[in-house]
Structure 1
Amino acid sequence: MKENAYLVIDLGGTYFRLATYIPSVQKITAIKKIETLNYLATRQDSQNNLEDKFINHLLLNMETYIEENSSFTFSKIGIAFAGPVSPQGVIHRAPTITGNLNIDLNLKKILKKKMQRDVVAINDVSAATWYFASSENEPFCAITVSSGIGNKVFYNNSILINDTGYGGEIGHYTCDHSENAPLCDCGGKGHLGAIASGRGVLAKVKLESAKSPEKFINSKLSALCPKAQDLTTHHIVQAILEDDPFTTDILDQTTAPLSEAIGLIYAAIGIRRYIIFGGFAQAIGTRYLSSLIKQIKRFALFGLNENQVETMFTLASEKEPCLIGMGIFLDRAEGV
């Protein structure tokens, strides 16, 4: 007899991962990582072509995964998506995947029609938040630092979003009002995600390397990748882990606006617990958290002393909170 399981998918801007969630033990297995077919890889396509290619690419990999793991019966399917998702499964925006296109893609309805089975779709940070909520005893804010920046606030056993799925999109908060502010994937200017995300840090490193070639040449980045235009976030992570001053200084410059956004969240709603996760932040590890806390300490958080500020932040240890959280959500969802 086949074991019951859920197919869970974490659909990010750069990669998406599929896994088998086993509800009896709340664990995942058979993780498969695939590059996301995003707007950076399909720049010449029209909106309809990009949406069709994206759906077909996702569908093909879902069907292949199910065939490869035929020892399981997948009774439920859940997709954690990198963008606002309404309760009806409609995706409104997905900047790290579709760029500045305005979309209203009913992912749940489309996949149900093509696969002839029910599919649940929620925001990726929401999925991770359900995982964190399983072990947290107080209200908290989960913040992802990956291809983009996003957050969700968990309060009174629920995630604070509106009826269209918006809420927790601090990556699109405008924090740089200068004329030369970097462009966000969504097309906006000076957004937090364009500065503090993995893609934002990479763009900043390339810019500073062009402005100060001597600093780049004398950095560990140059030893890892001699041509600045060929740098990737993997090179940046490695240089920071090797305590490269040039790269670490740029990281500090990019965690500064994120720290200010967190300060605003605290001042507005009083959340004192922040869980940092996401591929970029977790790859850097404790050095990322140290940089963020250092920037937070530049200004006072009303009513908190320095020791209280330091204990506000935790770096997630689980590498796949979105996948596990998606499974937990499927267990909670009625009629799925």
Structure 2
Amino acid sequence: MRSGPGSHRRKSVPVDGAQEARPLVVADIGGTTLRIARWDPHTGNLSGVRRRPVSGITARPGLDARELQAGVVDQLSSELSDHLDAEASDAGIPAVGLSFAGPVTSDGLVTAAPTIWGEGGEPLPLGAVLGERLGRPVLVANDITAAVWRYAESEPEPFCLITVSSGIGNKVFRNGEVLVHPAGYGGELGHWRSDPSPGAARCDCGGRGHLGALASGRGMLSAARRAAGGDPAGFAGSLLAVHAKGRAHGITNEALAAAIRGGDPFATAVLRGGLRHLSSAIAAMFTTIGIVRYIVIGGFALAIGERYIELLGDELSQQGCFGMDPDGMRNMVRLGMTDDDHSLIGIGRMLTSGAFSGICPSTR
């Protein structure tokens, strides 16, 4: 495949030699958590990691998209400013890298953020807005695009990184680049319409039957609560009920993950329902572009751990992938690193690898 103008590949380093040696501030904002840290380009290590709840749709569900958008921008400005002030004793931070849970164009425009401010919201030149407030370049990339760069040097062949967290996203890395359109299209598997029925689960973006609504952490939580309400006797006898103190509305993602890890049939059946949709999406990617390595990250999947991969492998083998035997299908999927630093490390590597060339004019 040939790269387009929006492809994220290694090109010129976006900061000069003197700046490249200095530490950088990196941040990652998802549907529930904002993480900010200091990244050392020499060691590749993070330090001073701060975590804050995101001031978005999860924390403030009563506000409209415009109000949430403004609140998130203010939160990012304040938290990044505080972190930069804490780094004042250093020689100065030349740039900030921000990974963002939503599609981002090649010139740094955030076009949507369903898991952060829900349906709607105007396209936002987030890098430019934050750069003006903070007085230095702020480079913005999609969070999974950033996370890919954590694995790019260690993976021996093309791969697809899939995150299963508040939503679902993916990116394909091939021939030294992340495959994405300049307008930010591509890698938004969570918004593939997997269930076309009129009453299908509603996605944060406003659509129905999207993969993210059916198989993400939020989607699985809703499915578990529906299952508990629809089968009270089955729920009452489950390990999930123990973790949820017997209340369907008391089910949390933590309780669901713990029950699945414990082998609870009720909770496992709920997860299998979502994994059928995810396995279908993986099989479609395999069939169309021939990617045979799928690395799964994201808070929900990682909370379940290797059991998640085992169950996903089961569904893949039942789904079938043309030309691949059952063992081959199971071996296509594996769990990524078990921390939550993927996008923080990845955005740091993007800043110093040249992968941001063409993304943010303020760096040129």
TM over 0.5: yes
Q: Give the 5 Å matches for 1:95-134.
A: 95-134=114-153
Residue 221 of structure 1, aligned match among 231, 234, 240: 240
Gaps of 5+ in 2: 1-20, 358-362
Residue 10 of structure 1, aligned match among 28, 49, 73: 28
Residue 261 of structure 1, aligned match among 281, 301, 305: 281
- Residue by residue over 1:6-48, the C-alpha shift from the partner in whole angstroms, topping out at 9 and shown as x without a partner, is 1111110011111111000111122111111112333333443
Contact 2:94 2:137 in 1 (8 A): no
Report the CA distance between 1:68 and its aligned residue.
Answer: 3.4
Determine the structure 2 residue equivalent to 1:20.
Answer: 38
Determine the structure 1 residue equivalent to 2:300.
Answer: 280
Residue 309 of structure 2, aligned match among 271, 279, 289: 289
Contact 1:10 1:81 in 2 (8 A): yes
Distance in 2 between residues matched to 1:236 and 1:70, nearest whole Å:
43
Q: Which amino acid in structure 2 is aligned with residue 24 of structure 1?
A: H
Determine the structure 1 residue equivalent to 2:60.
Answer: 42
Q: Higher strand proportion, which one? A: 1
The alignment of Structure 1 onto Structure 2 pairs a total of residues equal to: 334
TM-score by length of 1: 0.96
Determine the structure 1 residue equivalent to 2:222.
Answer: 203
Report the CA distance between 1:321 and its aligned residue.
Answer: 1.2
Distance in 1 between residues matched to 2:89 and 2:332, nearest whole Å:
43
Match of 1:298, SS?
helix
**1:242 maps to 2:254:** no
**1:158 maps to 2:165:** no
Gaps of 5+ in 1: none
Contact 1:91 1:107 in 2 (8 A): yes
Match of 1:79, SS?
strand
Report the CA distance between 1:230 and its aligned residue.
Answer: 2.4
- Residue by residue over 1:257-313, the C-alpha shift from the partner in whole angstroms, topping out at 9 and shown as x without a partner, is 000000000111111111111111111110000010000001321111222222211
Distance change (3 Å), C-alpha of 1:298 and 1:5: same
- Residue by residue over 1:189-225, the C-alpha shift from the partner in whole angstroms, topping out at 9 and shown as x without a partner, is 0000001000000000000000001111111121122
Report the CA distance between 1:318 and its aligned residue.
Answer: 4.5
Distance in 1 between residues matched to 2:217 and 2:110, nearest whole Å:
23
Determine the structure 2 residue equivalent to 1:31.
Answer: 49
Report the CA distance between 1:75 and its aligned residue.
Answer: 2.2
Report the CA distance between 1:179 and its aligned residue.
Answer: 2.9
Report the CA distance between 1:109 and its aligned residue.
Answer: 0.7
Q: Give the 5 Å matches for 1:295-306.
A: 295-306=315-326
Report the CA distance between 1:69 and its aligned residue.
Answer: 4.1
Determine the structure 1 residue equivalent to 2:360.
Answer: none
Q: Which stretch of the first structure deviates more once superposed, 235-244 or 123-132? A: 235-244
Distance in 2 between residues matched to 1:312 and 1:136, nearest whole Å:
13
Aligned-residue CA RMSD (Å): 1.5
Distance in 2 between residues matched to 1:326 and 1:15, nearest whole Å:
16
Residue 78 of structure 2, aligned match among 37, 60, 77: 60
**1:321 maps to 2:342:** yes
Residue 191 of structure 1, aligned match among 207, 210, 220: 210
Q: Which amino acid in structure 2 is aligned with residue 15 of structure 1?
A: T
Contact 1:88 1:108 in 2 (8 A): no
Match of 2:95, SS?
strand
Contact 1:89 1:121 in 2 (8 A): yes
Distance in 1 between residues matched to 2:203 and 2:66, nearest whole Å:
22
